[in-house]
Amino acid sequence: MADRKNINPPDRTAILFTEVESHRGYLMRYAIAKLRDTEQAEEVVQEALLAALEGVDGFSGQSSLRTWLTSILKFKIIDLQRRVISERAKLVTAPEEDESADPEWVDRMFDETGHWSPQIREWANPDAALAQKQFFEAFERCMDKLPGATSRVFFKREVMGADTDDICKEEGISASNCWVMLHRARLALRECLDRSWFQGGR
Amino acid sequence: MNQATELACKEAARLMSRRRDAALSPDEQESLRNHLYDCLGCRRFEEQLDFLRRLAQRYGETGPKVADDPA
């Protein structure tokens, strides 16, 4: 009778590696939201994944693997930020988007009287999609289509659950600019999920 | 008559989004309530915004969660 505890250590490592590796895309987006720099994000994610594989015995299984990996990543991000700050003064970043009129693609969702065009259609059983890996991949592809700052603000607000005021401060933008960016992100993501998943595009 | 004005969907969508991030004024709340009462498209939009929030939270917590052992 096969005993699961007797899986050979190399096999266990391989299984673990695949499991941990499957969270890389999420961790990259988390790191980019915090660091705004793809290269730095790759560096910290790599460090975090290595640390996780080395310290896997510290994973109690009480939280999800994703939550545990995120907590390791947070420390790596703080480490990196300390190193960067000690090397050079903190960058003052200009807002990447202003709060001027809606871009054309927003206008195209509405007719000239401001009504939905096309009409919003119902999503059939959306919660069932939450159990599907492919649906989360579609969600990632949709997030990747957003402009950098918009994607970052959405990620901080809806994925990390950060307070809008804190996001504004971190990003150096006004509250109204923040709302505009969040609104555009939601409009675009809703439209993208509708087109790529719920209306038979999968 | 009150101060609340009639909204088009475009403005209603903006308010539905903003009230997830900040409080609306009483007039804005009233206009939005009136609009939602009459507008099926915007009620669906709001449901989909709620779903988007659940999706983002799930994404940050576990990623896809395969239902208990599919048979």
Q: What is the CA radius of gyration of chain A?
A: 20
* CB-based contact A82:B4 (threshold 8 Å): no
Picking from A58, A87, A116, the residue at the C-terminal end of a domain is A87
Per CB-CB distance under 8 Å, the chain A contacts of B52 are 158, 186, 189-190, 193
Please tell me the distance in Å from A171's CA to the nearest CA on chain B.
Answer: 16
Q: Per-residue confidence of chain A (202 residues) as pLDDT tens digits?
A: 445 555 566 677 777 888 888 999 999 999 999 988 899 999 999 999 998 888 877 787 778 899 999 999 999 998 888 877 766 544 444 445 544 567 788 888 999 899 999 999 999 889 999 999 999 999 999 999 998 889 999 999 999 999 999 999 988 899 999 999 999 999 999 999 999 999 875 5
The predicted structure's pLDDT at residue A192? 94
**What are the φ and ψ backbone dihedral angles of A103, each rounded to 5 degrees?**
-65, 165
CATH number reported for the structural domain that contains residue A54 in this entry: 1.10.1740.10
Q: pLDDT tens-digit profile of B35-56?
A: 999 999 999 999 999 999 999 9
Q: Which long-range contacts (CB under 8 A, 24 or more apart) does A129-135 make?
A: A129/A197, A130/B54, A130/B55, A130/B58, A130/B64, A130/B65, A131/B64, A131/B65, A131/B66, A131/B67, A132/B64, A133/B63, A133/B64, A133/B66, A134/A202, A135/A197, A135/B64
Please tell me the distance in Å from B52's CA to the nearest CA on chain A.
Answer: 7
Please tell me the distance in Å from A87's CA to the nearest CA on chain B.
Answer: 31
CB atoms within 10 A of CB A56: 16
- Whether residues A186 and B56 touch (CB distance < 8 A) is answered with no
Q: Beta-strand (E) ranges in A28-167?
A: none
- Whether residues B21 and A139 touch (CB distance < 8 A) is answered with no
The predicted structure's pLDDT at residue B16? 97
In this structure, the answer to whether residues A74 and A117 fall within a common structural domain is no
The predicted structure's pLDDT at residue B68? 47
In this structure, the answer to whether residues A152 and A110 fall within a common structural domain is yes
CB atoms within 10 A of CB A3: 6
Picking from B10, B59, B64, the nearest residue to A114 by CB comes out as: B10
In this structure, the answer to whether residues A149 and A192 fall within a common structural domain is yes
In this structure, the answer to whether residues A80 and A115 fall within a common structural domain is no
- Whether residues B21 and A23 touch (CB distance < 8 A) is answered with no
Q: Which residues of A158-171 are buried (b: 16+ CB within 10 A; e: fewer)?
A: bbbeeebeebbebb
The predicted structure's pLDDT at residue A32? 93
- Whether residues B60 and A123 touch (CB distance < 8 A) is answered with no
Q: Residue A40 belongs to what domain range?
A: 4-87
Indicate the number of domains in chain A. Answer: 2
Q: Is the residue at A94 inside a domain?
A: no
Determine the Cα–Cα distance for residues A133 and A197; give it in Å rounded to an integer.
12
The predicted structure's pLDDT at residue A99? 47
CATH number reported for the structural domain that contains residue A132 in this entry: 1.10.10.10
Q: Is A187 on the interface with B (CB under 8 A)?
A: yes
Q: Is the residue at A93 inside a domain?
A: no
Q: Is the residue at A128 inside a domain?
A: yes
Q: Is the residue at A95 inside a domain?
A: no
Residue A110: strand pairing partners: A116
Model confidence band, residue B69 (pLDDT cutoffs 50, 70, 90):
very low
Q: Which residues of A110-135 are buried (b: 16+ CB within 10 A; e: fewer)?
A: beeeebbeeebeebeebeebbebeeb
